[in-house]
Amino acid sequence: MPTSLSTPPELWLEVFKALPTAALASVTETSRAFAALARPLLFAHFEFVPYGCSMGRRDGGWDIIYHLLGGEELQRAASILDTWTSNSIAPLVRSCTIRASRSRDSLVAEDNEEAAMRLSGLHTFFSRLSRFTKLKHVLLDDVTLPTDALSNIYHLLPSLEVLYIVCRFSRQPVAFENTRALAKLRKLVLKIESQHTVTTSATLAAYRPFFGSAMLKELDLSCNLRAWSEDPHDIPTFPTVTHVRIYPNLTVQPVFASLLPKFPVLQDLTIVGISSAHPAIPDIVSGCRSLVSTVAHLSTGSSALVELFLYGDKSALRTLHFPAGDNISTLCKLIQTAHPLLVCLSLDVPTAKASLLAPMWACLPALRSLKINFQRVFRGEDAPDASEESKLAPSYLQSLCAPHSLAPTLQTLVLKWHFLFCSPAWPQQLAHTDFDLPAVAAAVAAATPTLTAIGVDAASFALRWQCRAAATGLLRGEPWVDEAAFAAENIASYERIQRAVEQMWVDEGLRL
């Protein structure tokens, strides 16, 4: 039996990574060698829940009401906070989440903000922030911060790589002066979605120092950019950012024609929640004209934007995700005309429109990875017809068994069926009589010889047919992974294969 003396520490570390927190705590008590390996894992993530909050009436308007622990519970929470912020534990923490409680049961209401900051432990936490010397990832999930908190995060966390800020009910942090540029920040996410939060020029000013990181690669601007609409000259340039996500529904005024050209090396652009009928489309199209030659990955529900990138001069587009937005027929016509060199394609398609896709495959001469999310939406209270719905996935799979049914270069195919607005358990009741999943997968692969991976999640059954070399990078034993399960017969196997199908797309479909 292997012992700590005969087994390399690297192997023990992999074992410990798979253990739950309670087991790790026990491991640290077995020996000094094991404690040295397990303690960094045990204290790698700190989740701090200082208070609960709600909206309440005060002085004739709505304001935040804080809900705090009291009595012995408050003392216990303070003791736990002292442990995590101590000089021995804080340097072990790699990620930290600070969020408001989802429950207000047995909590004491407090409408004085300063008292809430003090009693909740937030002042204590941020006064000791410099002890977290290895902290890389910070998530501030809808918490109102002490006045100097954002400045402390900027100046006292030298290892910070990811900052994720969500504001729904919480107040905006105050602006601060930065004395140096962050050395390692590579990802900044701003999700400021609350109707309660008043967005002014001070809103973006509070975060502006973080925009200047020399390592910043990913930027999520899911917030109102009104301040930049009012003064486009105030928009900074982002010379290193390669991934951007924007949510135009939160910004009414035109800003994107001025903003998007500020990303000279942008490679991945996600524009959330719009179609070509959105009023911001002309503004966004104008801003995207400068990005056609650099953006290789595009996610948008607007066919107008897809047209710009497909037909633009020196187009670099290789991956396209077209979520639910415009009619899928418009996209099909664009692809049939442009014959783009897309390598990866992901689509959201109503099940009734599946037949529109077939003519498109011959017009994609370089396609390697394809993911289709078929969507069936139920309206009203009538129960879906199980006998008809059970035919959707099998019929489409069988249609792919004919030669030339898919792009001739396709290697990875992932198909998913979503039944919206019905019971989550309803699809598992679908019956599939006389349907041999592995045989159909083999027939699809025979019709498209370049295929090395097929994944299907039909909500009632799951199928994974994959070349083992593609799955693991090694060819050992049987060359194929071939597994399938009906949810009604074996829900555990179905859910395991379902997870494998989703991971198959992550592994295969996004590697260019």
> How far apart (Å, rounded) are the C-alpha atoms in residues 405 and 403?
5
Q: What is the pLDDT of residue 27?
A: 75
Give the length of the chain. 512
Helix, strand, coil % over all residues of the chain, rounded to 5: 35, 20, 40
Q: What is the pLDDT of residues 339-386, one digit of tens each?
A: 999 999 999 998 888 888 999 999 999 999 999 999 887 655 555 666
Residue 196 backbone zone (phi > 0: left; psi -120 to 50: alpha; other: beta): alpha
Query: Whose structure tokens read 């023990």?
Result: 12
Structure tokens at 272: 């959330």
Burial of 273 per CB tally in 10 Å (0-12, 13-18, 19+): middle
All residue ranges of the chain with pLDDT < 70 are 1-6, 22, 54-63, 102-114, 194-203, 325-326, 378-386, 421-422, 424, 428, 433, 468-480, 505-512
Full DSSP string of 430-487: ---TT--HHHHHHHHHHHSTT--EEEEE-SSEEEEEEEHHHHHSS--SSSEEEEEEET
> How far apart (Å, rounded) are the C-alpha atoms in residues 255 and 236?
13
Q: What is the pLDDT of residue 326?
A: 64
Contacts with 314 (C-beta within 8 Å, 6 or more apart), sequence order: 292, 293
Cβ(67)–Cβ(51) below 8 Å: yes
Query: Whose structure tokens read 């409408």?
Result: 111
Q: What end-to-end distance do the CA atoms of the chain give, in Å?
A: 44
Cβ(457)–Cβ(498) below 8 Å: yes
> How far apart (Å, rounded) are the C-alpha atoms in residues 458 and 486?
9
Cβ(415)–Cβ(456) below 8 Å: yes
Q: What is the pLDDT of residue 242?
A: 96
Q: What is the pLDDT of residue 248?
A: 85
* 219 beta partners: 188, 244
Sheet-wide strand order for 108-110: 52-58, 61-68, 108-110
At residue 438, φ and ψ (nearest 5 deg) are -60, -35
Q: What is the pLDDT of residue 108?
A: 66
Q: What is the pLDDT of residue 1?
A: 37
Q: Which DSSP state fits 101? A: B
How distant is the alpha carbon of residue 125 from its chain centre? 28
Three-state SS string over 356-420 comes to HCHHHHHHCCCCCEEEEEEEEECCCCCCCCHHHHCCHHHHHHHHCCCCCCCCCCCCEEEEEEEEE
Residue at 217: amino acid letter: K
pTM summary value: 0.85
> How far apart (Å, rounded) are the C-alpha atoms in residues 289 and 436?
49
Cβ(229)–Cβ(198) below 8 Å: no
Cβ(317)–Cβ(266) below 8 Å: no
Q: What is the pLDDT of residue 473?
A: 45
Q: Which residue blocks in 290-380 are alpha helix, DSSP H?
A: 303-311, 328-338
CB atoms within 10 A of CB 308: 21
Residue 395 backbone zone (phi > 0: left; psi -120 to 50: alpha; other: beta): alpha
Cβ(249)–Cβ(275) below 8 Å: no
Cβ(371)–Cβ(416) below 8 Å: yes
Q: What is the pLDDT of residue 509?
A: 46
How distant is the alpha carbon of residue 360 from its chain centre? 29
